[in-house]
Chain A
Amino acid sequence: MEYSPPPFFKRGPSLLTRFAFFSLLSVVLLVSDARLSYLYVLRQVVAVVVYPMQRLSAMPGELLARVGDFFVTATQLQRDNEQLKRQSLLDAASLQTQQALTNENLHLRQLLAMRERVSREFIAADILYGARDPFTRRVVVDKGFQNGVKAGSAVVDHAGVIGQVTRVFPWLSEVTLVTDKEQAVPIQVQRSGLRGVTFGIGYDGTLELRFMPVNADIQNGDLLVTSGIDGTYPSGLPVAIVTNIERNAAYAFARITCTPAAGVNSYGQVLIVLSEEKLPENPIPADEGNAKPKKARKGATP
């Protein structure tokens, strides 16, 4: 006869059943997150619950840091003041030349009937912490879609490009660093004007410039700046500096390693680029027989 516990010991489903149920549920979530990305809303809901907890637990540390800031010594302030004065003098000189150049540039652009560059809006954000997920290179900043941040916005600091916003929560957003695995940034070599795309390596905090021919005009120490052709990153921002080039004739492409120009591993303030550049309409019509794109193309060609 089959043994079963008497009905007054209520035990519920067996351990294995419960385990199978919950692991199956997890697998469903994992697959739908990794492959289908349906879970945006669910993530938002859980984030609303977790967020206050995160802020609350961060509070003692912030308080401590503020107390530390309060006790800055006078010598430190004097030194900073001195340095800033010197810096502002230097900046003033370059600003004056820049003013002239901006005017000239504007004039030339108008002459050429070029599309005026959209002046981009920036929003300053603080890096709260590095994401704890050890498999990715991300940081979390304290501005979310309540502040107008959108997924896909570029993130820069004073020295160059940090990365791109990949997930937006109401008051936080996650920024994937340029050094994250397979994170791509379209670049241009500042010295030679050569275009390319850098990819993050992932594990050692460097970038790789892929698909460059062996005889490409690239040297150690070259500065790679954003080319701006993707419409996400504003053009001309430093991305990385070439540190190592392996030219092996046996391969079609050179192996070029770069280190990021911006402080991707330091914590501080960053700027999130809010407005996207309005690119002209795609001249290739999505479906044939549509008259509208044709018109746009006519206008675009000089």
Chain B
Amino acid sequence: MRLPSASAGAAPPQEILRPVRTSYIAITLLVALALNVLILPGFLQILRPDFIALTLIYWVVYHPRRVGFLPAWLLGLAMDVADGSLFGQHAFAYAVLMYLSILLHRRIVMFGMRHQVLHVVAILGVAQLVMLVIRLMAGADFPNVLYFAPSIVGALAWPPLFNLIRVPLRPRADPDAV
């Protein structure tokens, strides 16, 4: 039997990070909102992952006491207006996403990147499914299978995003170190 190592499948080595400021969390969420409302040409628009959902998952999984339901829900309302979708649709989906992420956060941190991606694709997929069910109930047609593409792209974007969010949190090299 192979011993667990620091490969992609095993738990990532614990990093020592600097404490997270609330302002940093707010900035990441606002940048995510900006990326979500960014206008992209044609095909990229279909594939664009939901950056708010990903950022929320990150903060909830790694700092579950720092982000509550309220900011997630308000960001959902902002997305509803920006998208022109039904009011409360994204808000509901983000509430479901928060619930699942908080429920699973102790599990997810124990897994390595590869398995975290599988968790993330499930959470994002459920959030999109919630929106789909809401719209089908409101009388819309099922768009097509590409509707779920953002979940898959989002899950693939999880490892780089994970590292990106951590960049400002890594301890600065001490110039006085020997």
Contacts and interface: CB of A to CB of B under 8 A. Distances in A.
B103 A33 contact: no
A23 B90 CA distance: 11
B85 A135 contact: yes
B141 A181 contact: yes
A132 B144 contact: no
Contact of B84 (A23, A26, A30, A133): A133
Nearest to B45: A132
A32 to B, nearest CB: 8
A7 B156 CA distance: 42
A49 interface: yes
Contacts of A42: 87
Interface string B75-89: 011101111111111
A174 B85 CA distance: 11
A135 B135 CA distance: 8
Nearest to B46: A134
A15 B69 CA distance: 10
Contacts of A23: 92, 95-96
A153 to B, nearest CB: 17
A181 B139 CA distance: 10
B42 to A, nearest CB: 8
B78 A50 contact: yes
B99 A15 contact: yes
A63 interface: no
Contacts of A56: 34
B17 interface: no
Contacts of A128: 39
A19 B86 contact: no
Contacts of B147: 134
Contacts of B37: 50, 53-54, 57
B35 A15 contact: no
| Chain B interface bracket (under 10, 10 to 19, 20 to 34, 35 or more) | 35 or more
Given A26-B91, A61-B39, A46 B81 contact: yes
A33 B81 contact: no
Given A22-B69, A203-B144, A33 B39 contact: no
Contacts of A136: 84-85, 140
A129 B102 CA distance: 35
A130 interface: yes
Given A56-B34, A134-B147, A15 B102 contact: yes
B113 to A, nearest CB: 26
Nearest to B68: A18
Interface string B129-159: 0000011001011011001000000000000
A150 interface: no
12 contacts: A15-B103, A22-B70, A22-B73, A22-B95, A26-B91, A30-B86, A32-B87, A54-B82, A61-B38, A132-B82, A136-B140, A203-B143
Given A26-B88, A57-B39, A135-B140, 19 more contacts: A22-B73, A26-B89, A26-B95, A29-B91, A30-B92, A30-B138, A33-B88, A39-B87, A46-B78, A46-B80, A50-B78, A50-B81, A131-B84, A132-B45, A132-B82, A132-B83, A134-B46, A134-B143, A136-B140
